[in-house]
Amino acid sequence: MSRRDPGLGYVPNDAYAEADWAAVDSPPLTDAELARTRPGVKGMLPAMAEAFGRRTAGQPQSARARRKRGAKRSE
C-alpha cells in the first residue's frame, strides 16, 4: 500500500463525491480472475507497455550519467 493508505472506504477529495463512490457496484474478484492477474507491464497491451517504458520527462540519461553522486550542482 502507499504511504497515504486510504483503506477501503471513501476519502474526501475534489475528484468525486461520496455519492459517486457509493454508486459504483464492483463485485469482488473471483479466484479465476485473481489467478489471471499479472504485475506491472506484463498485464498490459504491448503498445501500452512500450509507452510506459519510454523516457518522456526529466534529465536526459547522458546528463545524469555525467554528474557524479554527491557533486554539487552549479546554480
At 50 the three-state DSSP class reads helix
pLDDT in tens, 43-68: 788 888 788 776 666 666 666 566 56
Cβ atoms of 43 and 37 within 8 Å: the answer is yes
Q: Which amino acid is at 74?
A: S
pLDDT at site 27: 86
4 is written with which cell numbers? 497515504
Q: Minimal CA–CA distance to 40: which of 32, 49, 29? A: 49
Task: Show me where the domains of the chain are located.
Answer: 28-53
Confidence of residue 38 (pLDDT cuts 50, 70, 90): confident
